[in-house]
């Protein structure tokens, strides 16, 4: 893995590196796209994501984990500075997930919004959708521990 403090890496490369450091994100095939200052996480559909083969529907745990990874990636991206690189990876304090409709067997997208970030705690909201962002399939509200490695 490369060094996230390397100034030759652009934000896209740093974002890809952040996701590569999460083993479950690699297993699921999660990737992310940047458009200006907006990051959209992408969960490509794969048969091993199905939790209910009768519907079929993506497993709720997969959707929840995908949204949590989206929040962590957004927070990590917001902490990158050219001089200091990436601080400590954000750690989950708590999350609340609202499942709004079944995740069908198709590509899923998510976008995180940092509602408030203090010195140590960040409040993040994430929405996941499939065909249209106006019809989310799930939402996450969470608190994450943030800060640099040298903070105790």
Tens-digit pLDDT profile for residues 82-94:
444 555 789 999 9
pLDDT of 69 reads 96
Residue 5 lies in a domain: no
The sign of the torsion formed by the CA atoms of 64, 65, 70, 72 equals positive
Residue 151 lies in a domain: no
Residue 77 lies in a domain: yes
Report the CATH number that the domain containing residue 127 is assigned in CATH: 3.10.129.10
Count of domains observed in the chain: 1
For helices 60-79 and 11-20, give the axis angle rounded to 10 degrees. Answer: 140
Please name which of 50, 79, 69 lies closest in space to residue 128, comparing C-alpha atoms.
69
**3 state SS of 36:** coil
Positions of the chain with pLDDT under 50:
1-8, 82-84, 151-152
pLDDT of 7 reads 46
Residue 3 lies in a domain: no
Residue 131 lies in a domain: yes
Residue 4 lies in a domain: no
- Its pTM stands at 0.86
Full domain range(s) for residue 121 = 11-145
């Amino acid at each position: 893995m490369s060094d996230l403090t390397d100034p030759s890496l652009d934000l896209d490369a740093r974002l890809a590196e952040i996701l590569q450091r999460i083993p479950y994100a690699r297993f699921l095939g999660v990737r992310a796209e940047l458009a200006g200052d907006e990051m959209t996480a992408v969960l490509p559909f794969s048969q091993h994501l199905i939790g209910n083969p009768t519907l079929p529907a993506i497993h709720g745990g997969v959707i929840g984990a995908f949204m949590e990874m989206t929040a962590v990636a957004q927070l990590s991206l917001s902490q990158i500075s050219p001089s200091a690189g990436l601080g400590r990876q954000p750690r989950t304090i708590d999350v609340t997930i609202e499942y709004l409709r079944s995740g069908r067997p198709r590509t899923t997208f998510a976008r995180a919004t940092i509602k408030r970030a203090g010195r140590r705690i960040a409040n993040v909201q994430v929405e996941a959708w499939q065909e249209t962002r106006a019809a989310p399939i799930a939402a996450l509200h969470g608190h994450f521990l943030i800060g640099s490695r040298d903070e105790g």
